Amino acid sequence: MLNIPVYKPFLCDLEEKYVNECIKSNWISSRGKFISKFEESFSNYLGIKHSTTVSNGTVALHLALHTLGIGPNDEVILPTLTYVATANSVAYVGAKPVFVDSDRDTWNINPEKIISKITKNTKAILVVHLYGNPCSMDKIMEICEKYKLLLIEDSAESFGSKYKGVYMGNFGNISTFSFFGNKTITTGEGGMVSSSNKELVNRVAYLKSQAVSKEKEYWHDELGFNYRMTNICSAIGLAQLEKADIILQKKQKISMWYQKFLKDFDITFQKSEKDCVNSFWMVSILMKNEKDRDNIREYLKARGVETRPLFTPMHTMGTFKSNETFPIAESLAAKGLNLPSYPDLKEEDIFSISEVIKKYFESI
Ligand SMILES: Cc1ncc(COP(=O)(O)O)c(C=O)c1O
């Protein structure tokens, strides 16, 4: 019986060393040398000028939208097929999320379907590079320019992905990242807000720390938040960043092995556009239909392989439920699953998972 989780972080001695430094020096809260080091190294790695740490990817989005001045009466265009935090952040600032269907191949927001959703109240497009797969940035940036819209990149899942040679996070007016335990690089819980605009990032840094005055103690000019990251989390983040190349290379191999071993089965992989590098946060596939997807998940689970279904489209549930239909997103969500994708997976692990999948196909 296999025992393969869908994800686990890739930690080693360096994380332990840096965390111990925090503990030994007593700098365990949201001040300390690792915070600025992590922010600078992160910016340098991705080639984005400015970055500020926050406590998770959800508040990163909230602060990004808030800092851009998006609020009540504004509309924000985003994909319906995303993690709930993307849509929640729009609701947090009192704006209206306007959902768009997915592209059949990339599973990202379909740029062709954006224009019909633009109204006089549209303020921004919030893109998500789903499971690490870069969005159609040329088309999306052209729309933003033409209609004078702000662009926000929710890069929570796309650390290390590239579009035409440029790391994701470099295209938006502002971009956000998540470092949750299952992300490509992790800090346990954590996030980052990045931009080439220094003023924007400085303002995020000010707001994340209760909007406290630099000149006067306990003086707060406006509504602020406690969305800071701790020195301990930054210490883990810095250690992760130092081996980011290795993690990203491992993930390329994992995707290659899956494609090699699963090429003869009735499975569809998420496709990338030309000149894109998917970092493969999660290697994801589609089955023929929902029943087949549920059956293969059960079959794998019974043999010790954990998988995840794709996200549930936002317009089908809870706060964001509407009568609109988005057939592509609905179909992808029904048929799709994430395969184990953690960096430490070896070729023999992927082979074993593929053998289980092979037996599943033989059994039906
Ligand atoms: C697309 C997307 N946006 C935002 C988030 C939120 O990040 P966090 O869990 O760090 O709050 C996630 C996290 O899973 C995500 O996948």
What is the per-residue pLDDT across 90-117, written as a single tens digit (0 to 9) for each?
999 999 999 999 999 999 999 999 999 9
CA of 7 to the centre of ligand 1 (A): 15
Q: Are 66 and 207 in contact (CB under 8 A)?
A: yes
Q: Are 2 and 345 in contact (CB under 8 A)?
A: no
Q: Among the residues of the chain, which ranges form H helices?
A: 13-25, 33-46, 57-67, 84-92, 137-147, 198-208, 231-242, 244-261, 290-302, 327-335, 347-363
What is the per-residue pLDDT across 139-181, written as a single tens digit (0 to 9) for each?
999 999 999 999 999 999 999 999 999 999 999 999 999 999 9
Q: Are residues 213 and 291 in the same domain?
A: no
108 lines ligand 1 (CB under 6 A): no
Give the global pTM. Answer: 0.98
Residue 357's domain spans which residues?
244-363
Find the mean pLDDT for residues 78-91.
Answer: 98
| Tokens of residue 279, six digits | 């970092």
Q: Are residues 17 and 138 in the same domain?
A: yes
Q: Are residues 316 and 262 in the same domain?
A: yes
Q: Are 173 and 199 in contact (CB under 8 A)?
A: no
| 1 found inside a domain | no
The pLDDT assigned to 43 comes to 98
Domains held by the chain: number = 2
Q: Are residues 36 and 160 in the same domain?
A: yes
| 8 found inside a domain | no
CA 41 to CA 47: how far, in whole Å? 10
CA of 199 to the centre of ligand 1 (A): 24
The pLDDT assigned to 218 comes to 97
Residue finishing a domain among 242, 266, 292: 242
Q: Are residues 258 and 207 in the same domain?
A: no
Angle of the 244-261 helix axis to the 347-363 helix axis, nearest 10: 30
Q: Are residues 81 and 204 in the same domain?
A: yes
CA of 363 to the centre of ligand 1 (A): 36
The pLDDT assigned to 165 comes to 98
**For the chain, what is the mean pLDDT?**
98
58 lines ligand 1 (CB under 6 A): yes
78 lines ligand 1 (CB under 6 A): no
Q: What CATH number has the domain bearing residue 264?
A: 3.90.1150.10
CA 211 to CA 191: how far, in whole Å? 19
CA of 82 to the centre of ligand 1 (A): 9
> Could you say which DSSP state residue 340 is in?
P
Q: Are residues 211 and 118 in the same domain?
A: yes
83 lines ligand 1 (CB under 6 A): yes
Query: Please, which pLDDT band fits residue 192 given cuts at 50, 70 and 90?
Result: very high
Nearest CA to ligand 1 atom 10: 57
> Phi and psi (nearest 5°) for 154?
-85, 95
The pLDDT assigned to 79 comes to 99
> Phi and psi (nearest 5°) for 321?
-60, 135
Q: Are residues 237 and 342 in the same domain?
A: no
| 53 found inside a domain | yes
| 230 found inside a domain | yes
Q: Which atom of ligand 1 is nearest to the CA of 59?
A: 11
The pLDDT assigned to 61 comes to 99
Residue in 91, 90, 85, 113 with CA at minimum distance from that of residue 101: 113
Query: Please, which pLDDT band fits residue 220 given cuts at 50, 70 and 90?
Result: very high
What is the per-residue pLDDT across 252-297, written as a single tens digit (0 to 9) for each?
999 999 999 999 999 999 999 999 999 999 999 999 999 999 999 9
Q: Which of 107, 153, 180, 233 to mutate to test the pocket of ligand 1 (most atoms within 8 A of CB)?
A: 180
Q: Are residues 122 and 141 in the same domain?
A: yes
Q: Are 255 and 280 in contact (CB under 8 A)?
A: yes
Residue finishing a domain among 198, 216, 242: 242
Q: What CATH number has the domain bearing residue 167?
A: 3.40.640.10
Find the mean pLDDT for residues 212-218.
Answer: 95
Q: Are residues 238 and 251 in the same domain?
A: no
Q: Are residues 97 and 48 in the same domain?
A: yes
| SS3 assignment, position 333 | helix
For the CA atoms of 40, 45, 47, 50, the dihedral, rounded to the nearest 10 degrees, stands at: -20
Q: Are residues 85 and 226 in the same domain?
A: yes
